[in-house]
Chain A
Amino acid sequence: MTSPVSRGFHRLRRPTGAEAGKLPPGQHVTTDFPVLSAGPTPHTPLQEWTFSIRQGGQTLRSWTWPEFQGMPAETVTADIHCVTRWSKLGTVWRGVPVAALLDQVEHDAQYALAFSDGGYTTNLPVKDVSGGQAWLAFDYDGQPLAPEHGGPARLLVPHLYFWKSAKWVRGLELLGHDQPGFWENYGYHNYGDPWREQRYAGD
């Protein structure tokens, strides 16, 4: 049995001509900023917050909040694309390039697993977070990043689906092999390029 069509119903706002070129396939533009999460908002006090780069069970380097704030930061304007099909254009962030953090450790790892407060993880190739395409972001739209959006700091990797931009991130585990993170374990794509519509494993 095929479903009857509900007269007059259609998907949310189709992109206008001006925006159509800027959107990956299957996405629509939103003007609000949906809050999506897999768990309760953590509230790690800043005096306890650290960001660590780990490998083989060792912490190679760790930054406290004041040390992290002392790193040179950039303003980034980016379009973000969520696998649930909304995209938000022209979002403005301030963050420290992940490359600047990785530059301070010696490693030969090809892959990373980002880990966050609350247990969330997501995997990325090291080259995708070190080539000027990823930031550890702490400001959104001119304000300190709100807890429900991942504050005090989240990963920002706009060239991949936004589930890779881990909220409440606390570090990167460097690995020699690609290890699926939270959503990847359930069938989401290990890489997640929105322009090739890599939503699910095998896409």
Chain B
Amino acid sequence: MSFEPEELSREEVQQKVEETIANNEVALFMKGTELMPQCGYSRKALGLIGQYRDEVATVNVLTATEAYREALAEYSDRETIPQTFVDGEFVGGSDILEQLDENGDLEETLTV
């Protein structure tokens, strides 16, 4: 079973990315939703953040994947998903979150 939401326009996606990064302490752009991640890396990122944060704004990029890749690259210089932003700054994908957690730095990184 697949669920195909209506594609957003490029302008709508750019606006969504800008607002989400600007208005949330922690934002995660992921494949799927918080309740149903659609990719193991997105699920991993969500779980790592969830250890230290109850509140995280998530955006499902699968609603317009290519437009999200382009829009996010403006902020992070990369097109891979997931992408985590804290206080407007790009922090990394799931590997960087994992490495920060192993080093004991993730909680502080997620604290605004």
Chains A and B form a bound pair: no
Q: Which residues of A contact B (CB under 8 A)?
A: none
Q: Which residues of B contact A (CB under 8 A)?
A: none
